[in-house]
Structure 1
């Protein structure tokens, strides 16, 4: 099985994984475990309706709360699977995950971008239908400003 790293970084990445504590025979297995975990996670999260956040995690954009939570869940899942499948201790699994996860996320994102079904699905999403119109936003802003300034309407007077 070939290593899923960029060609220039094969030797460096293998050296880092070996330095972290993996044997040479464990390196391909660790890569396969992380890859399978990420692919399963992506499929599950997209099915749960978190496609946008999942794409942000794959791109490495985890500054916002939603993608950050998903990334932490993915990282924990990778740690558990590395410990189960390879028998690694927690500290070693954490080091291996930290080394492999960025590379695997990049490779999965590249494979998704080149997949025609995913490109068609992404293009066919009707994102505009789910966004509020300008009038809806103005009405909500007016309601909030009225509530803040204390201007009560007839309905508010009846309730209070």
Structure 2
């Protein structure tokens, strides 16, 4: 009989969050993962049934942590779908945009060691742009950066579903 599967919710260098099924054995799971060499901290959330692990990527890989969780909890790893994220409206243009930007976000997160993502850099850049505009003199009409921010918010709210 196949076992239920855990889902990898977040996997960026130094930070791993997995969600476990109800049937998973969670007794001493936190302790087992915490004792792995390279793991800085580990926290179980019964409300979300997720295990957050902070680790040093130079000392241990996420796959080793997942393997330890799979063995301790008695679950399998959920298969990764090759299907691209499809927005609720099924628009292929929106799906392509979501897939492209999500890929850029993951690469940026890996390159910066999880410090920067597009969710951090885009608001920061637009905030700095706004401060620059405010300090340059009289207020003008709506700058393109503000319009871009509104467009981003509308796209995010109506096209990206199922993200944690």
Q: Provide TM-score, normalisation by structure 2.
A: 0.26
When Rg is computed on C-alpha atoms for both structures, the one with the higher figure is 1
Higher normalized helix content (fraction of residues): 1
Q: Which has the higher contact order (CA 8 A, sep 6+)?
A: 1
Q: Provide TM-score, normalisation by structure 1.
A: 0.26
